[in-house]
A and B are shown apart, each in its own frame.
Chain A
């Protein structure tokens, strides 16, 4: 009995809030590496696109959504009105609703402030890292600290890189030509690959990718919305078609 208690406390010590905080941060490291060039280039492009320092910094502080921030900069360069920018941001970030939905059962026990804080940090990267943790090791505690650690690391890094980009971007505008923005498709490709485990998923990805080019000429990045809708439709329809085919057999 005594041995079991000692083993139990040793295990709980390894999963203390503090250790989980660090573990979440450490496991997010590959995604931090992708976010650094991307954050810096966001700051640089925002500076050259005419966004005020406060607006660009405010985006990283209050919105904390890299891909939509990046797309916003190109929309602002094209003179898009702010309501359209907000609408595009909505579509681009809509995938985060799935992240929230997926986390509902795991955050059930947490207080409302905890839920709000963790929800604020539900970026692609933190979701990918945290959900991995929640899916394993069922009995061990303090997973919310793991989630928080990942989020804090991403948040601090993102804001620091934005600041670097905003300041360096004004001083060295040639940074914009270095191609650091490639970090975004590189990271996203790495994140899409795990989804490709079924035919409907392939259909969704291929359709969305193709339509995004066909509709690429549409103003205000509408092509992105059209492609996303097309991709989702393709996924749902092929799922339906394939299951009906199996049912007929």
Chain B
């Protein structure tokens, strides 16, 4: 049932991903004592999480199929995302945001499938 054969390219890929990811997470520990980073670097670094997260969120919501832009209100991802933004902004409780927006998403997806 399981094909555990792995190709060379896959090995290089996963190894490469693992090395860069661990490297990114760990690098600051040995080097931060050695020298001061320019203030610009530190300020820029602060914007990386929200910028990258937004760059991931927006296409996954507005282009869920990967190529066509769907700004219609019949896009369940959009409905779910608007819900998440509203709930998240109003209540600032992560579990509530995730659960409610997931439920709204699944419900709209189902409703749209049944009635459209």
Q: Is the CB of B26 within 8 A of A119?
A: yes
Point out the residues of chain B lying under 8 angstroms from A74, CB to CB.
66
Determine whether B58 belongs to the interface, using a CB cutoff of 8 Å to chain A: yes
Point out the residues of chain A lying under 8 angstroms from B81, CB to CB.
185-186, 189
Q: Is the CB of A101 within 8 A of B28?
A: yes
Determine whether B53 belongs to the interface, using a CB cutoff of 8 Å to chain A: yes
**Quick one: CB contact mask for A129-165 with B, threshold 8 Å, 1 for yes?**
0000000000000000000000000000000000000
Q: Which of B7, B25, B84, B99 meets A189, CB within 8 Å? A: B84
Determine whether B74 belongs to the interface, using a CB cutoff of 8 Å to chain A: no
Also in contact, A195 and B58, with CB within 8 A (given A94-B24, A216-B63, A236-B43):
no
A80 to B60, alpha carbons, bound, how many Å?
19
Determine whether A228 belongs to the interface, using a CB cutoff of 8 Å to chain B: yes
Q: Is the CB of A62 within 8 A of B14?
A: yes
Q: Is the CB of A189 within 8 A of B9?
A: no
Q: Which of B13, B45, B58 meets A209, CB within 8 Å? A: B58
Shortest distance between the CB of B93 and any CB in chain A (Å): 8
Point out the residues of chain B lying under 8 angstroms from A72, CB to CB.
13, 17
Q: Is the CB of A95 within 8 A of B61?
A: no
Point out the residues of chain A lying under 8 angstroms from B45, CB to CB.
97-98, 101
Q: Is the CB of A201 within 8 A of B60?
A: no
Q: Is the CB of B92 within 8 A of A30?
A: no
Give chain A interface residues in 166-222, CB to chain B under 8 Å.
170, 178-179, 181-196, 200-201, 204-213, 216-217
Shortest distance between the CB of A42 and any CB in chain B (Å): 13
Q: Is the CB of A100 within 8 A of B28?
A: yes
Shortest distance between the CB of B67 and any CB in chain A (Å): 8
Q: A-contacting residues of B (Cβ < 8 Å)?
A: 1-7, 9-18, 20-22, 24-29, 32, 40, 42-63, 66-67, 69, 76-77, 80-81, 84-85, 88-89, 92-95, 97-99, 101-102, 105-106, 109
5 intermolecular pairs with C-beta atoms under 8 Å apart: A97-B45, A182-B80, A185-B57, A189-B84, A208-B54
